[in-house]
């Protein structure tokens, strides 16, 4: 999912990088969308900002994300966020707006708009 655009604009269109996860654990079999404010080793953390998105990739994964991966969750991709997680509307002027799959004419809301669209649309479990 991380390497291609989706119909809900939930995930960022980034080159795919392998992200290891435990093969067993309480979250095994579940997919994880990671908001673009959290580091994932090998991916740039852009925080919804094109200047930050042009920076170097993270060398380490954020501890909170790593714990989910260690519990068996499979990385599905980086999800869109409002620029610098600043707004409650969830529409980033630099990217196509995430689509609310339950109410397409309404915003997904909040800085976690991409994550909300991904989970509500069945593109990620977490």
Q: Is residue 92 over pLDDT 80?
A: yes
Residues 53 and 92: their CA atoms lie apart, in Å, by 13
Is the torsion defined by CA of 21, 25, 29, 35 positive or negative?
negative
Split at pLDDT 50, 70, 90, the class of 123 is: very high
* pLDDT, mean of residues 98-123: 93
Residues 75 and 96: their CA atoms lie apart, in Å, by 22
pLDDT attached to residue 1 = 41
Per-residue pLDDT reduced to its tens digit, 11-27: 999 999 999 999 999 99
pLDDT attached to residue 71 = 98
Split at pLDDT 50, 70, 90, the class of 5 is: low
Reported pTM: 0.91
pLDDT attached to residue 4 = 41
């Amino acid at each position: 999912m991380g390497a291609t655009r989706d119909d809900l604009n939930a995930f960022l269109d980034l080159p795919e990088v392998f992200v290891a996860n435990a093969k067993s654990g309480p979250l095994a079999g579940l997919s994880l969308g990671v908001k673009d404010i959290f580091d994932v080793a090998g991916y740039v953390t852009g925080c919804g900002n094109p200047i930050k998105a042009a920076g170097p990739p993270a060398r380490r994964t954020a501890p909170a994300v790593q714990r989910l991966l260690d519990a068996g969750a499979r990385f599905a991709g980086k999800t869109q966020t409002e620029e610098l997680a600043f707004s409650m509307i969830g529409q980033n002027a630099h990217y196509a707006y995430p689509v609310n799959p339950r109410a397409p004419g309404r915003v997904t809301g909040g800085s976690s708009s991409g994550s909300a669209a991904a989970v509500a649309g069945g593109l990620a479990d977490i």
